[in-house]
A and B are shown apart, each in its own frame.
Chain A
Amino acid sequence: MHVIEDGNTAAAFGVRLCRPQVIAAYPITPQTPVTERLSEYVEEGSLKAEYIPVESEHSALAVCIAASSAGSRVFTATSANGLLYMHEQVQWAAGARLPIVMCVVNRAVGAPWNIWNDQQDSISQRDTGWIQLYCADHQQIIDAVIKAYWLAEKVSIPVMVCYDGYILSHTFMPFELPEQKKVDEFLPPFQAEYALDPNFPANLNTVTLPDVRYDTRGELAHGYMEIRCLLQEDLRKALGAASEGEKMFAQIFHRGGDPYIEPYRCDDAEYVAVGLGSLTYQLRVCVDTLRKEGVKIGVMGVKFYRPFPDEVIAAALKGKKGVIVFEKALSYGYEGALASDLKAALYSHLSGTGKMPPVFNFIAGIGGREIHTKDLTGALQSVVKGGAAGEPAWIGLKL
């Protein structure tokens, strides 16, 4: 069924289709409508879940961690400072290997206070051990939520579904609403590998010593380092699992195909613009404009940011004359995090081949600063004309 709704409602529709059993969230702009929709669904009975209103984001994720440990499928959503407030629990959820799905509606973080869109919030959570997906339109939001549950439960790692505040969350767009029957086929009920049971008490994630030790059964149990290494190994394996999930999804819903990247006019391109989220769709307009002028240019959206699909990205950018990374976030003190990750991937896979493209970094739209398409086009033109790669350049800065 085709519907026209806003991005937050697309997310809420996706969540309802996945039949979560426990939802705990604390409202924060621009995420609020997601939680409002879900509470309405629970109230009207169209979603049979326990909706737990909490006093903070830290508690929201703590509730999800507990409910997930007890074997429930759970959901939460947040933005900006709310995400930062739950940061401790974010790390915990990953270490505890709980398949939680959380929507992050991207917004700038304070100080100074700002409620508009950029991606500093979720980018700052890059190293927490969560899988991070970035969406460029409403169809991707609803599909990503459904795929997120499948992937999270497959690899026992939590997933963040990130989409731009306002630009996606509050704008209306048509999208295909999947049938419940098909979603049930794709996503069977959650079967936890281990669920808390009052009849068999256990301690979860208690103090772990620096070295391995014998547990109360006399079995050799992991030390902290082993547990963390297994998380890293399984995150890397999640790349393969995502591909498997995407294939299954495409068979059932006839959409999708590549879980990692979304290239546009990249096949014969000499220059490729790269970004996360809705910005890459705006860049398509610039690409079309420059193509008319005879510039061989394309744009590639990165949909899967953690674990980083380094091999796929390096292969896609091999031999290009220039890679231009546009970011709505910054690793303060250096450059955009995506630009750094991308350079590392290119270095790992293309070093010494003579096909390693230079990487240019532009910072745009911080704190909701309007990104004019002509400015993006201008930035691309400056690179094509032979700009030198260096410090990240700010677009639309009035300083």
Chain B
Amino acid sequence: MGTRNYRRKTSHSEHGPGDGGRTGSWRVERPVIDQSLCIPCRRNKEACFICWLYCPEIVISRTIPPVVNLEYCKGCGICAEECPTKAIKMVDEANFAQDKKKRE
């Protein structure tokens, strides 16, 4: 199937999830949130959300608790770096792969 009749002659994309593909597969380390340290979780208040603010891929939700969309999170680690209470740890993806195997 060809793209000759595609309406544009350049790379053009409109806002929407996953425009660059399922970038979650790029991830080497996964951000894991420790809710006992996370400010909005501890206070049960809409507060902090530094992780949501700094995430360059807009994959962290502004919710209690904040949720990372792992389908698109590239694992850059900026959230972990910026979290004021060090509630986010970057964990090697290999650990999760092994967990999955054990379950099977």
Contacts and interface: CB of A to CB of B under 8 A. Distances in A.
A209 B23 CA distance: 13
Interface string B44-67: 000000000000000000000000
A264 to B, nearest CB: 38
A191 interface: no
B9 A202 contact: no
Interface in B2-30: 3-4, 6, 8-21
Given A216-B13, A221-B11, A206 B20 contact: yes
Contacts of A217: 14, 16
B8 to A, nearest CB: 7
Contact of A219 (B4, B6, B11): B6
A215 interface: yes
Contacts of B15: 201-203, 216
Contact of A234 (B4, B9, B21): B9
A97 interface: yes
A223 B1 CA distance: 12
A217 B12 CA distance: 11
A206 B6 contact: no
Main secondary structure of the interface of B (DSSP, over half): loop
Interface string A205-249: 111110011011101111110110011001000000000000000
Given A203-B19, A220-B1, A221-B3, A230 B14 contact: no
A230 B17 contact: no
A95 B10 contact: yes
Given A194-B12, A202-B12, A220 B3 contact: yes
A97 B10 CA distance: 7
Contacts of A203: 11-15, 19
B14 A216 contact: yes
Contact of A209 (B3, B8, B17, B21): B21
A204 interface: yes
Interface size band for B: 10 to 19
Given A220-B1, A221-B3, A226-B3, A215 B19 contact: yes
Contacts of A234: 9
Contacts of B3: 212, 220-223, 226
B18 A216 contact: yes
A231 B9 CA distance: 8
A230 B6 CA distance: 11
A310 B10 CA distance: 27
A215 B13 contact: yes
A200 interface: yes
Contact of B9 (A208, A213, A227): A227
Contacts of B20: 206-207
Nearest to B14: A202
Contact of A206 (B1, B11, B16, B17): B11
A219 B7 CA distance: 10
Given A221-B6, A222-B6, A227 B11 contact: yes
Residue among A205, A213, A220, A222 with the most chain B CB within 10 A? A222
Given A212-B3, A219-B6, A221-B3, A204 B11 contact: yes
B77 to A, nearest CB: 20
A189 to B, nearest CB: 22
Given A97-B10, A202-B13, A227-B10, 5 more contacts: A203-B13, A203-B14, A205-B12, A221-B11, A221-B13
Q: Top 9 closest A-B pairs, CB basis?
A: A216-B16, A208-B11, A203-B13, A222-B3, A230-B9, A202-B14, A205-B11, A201-B15, A212-B3
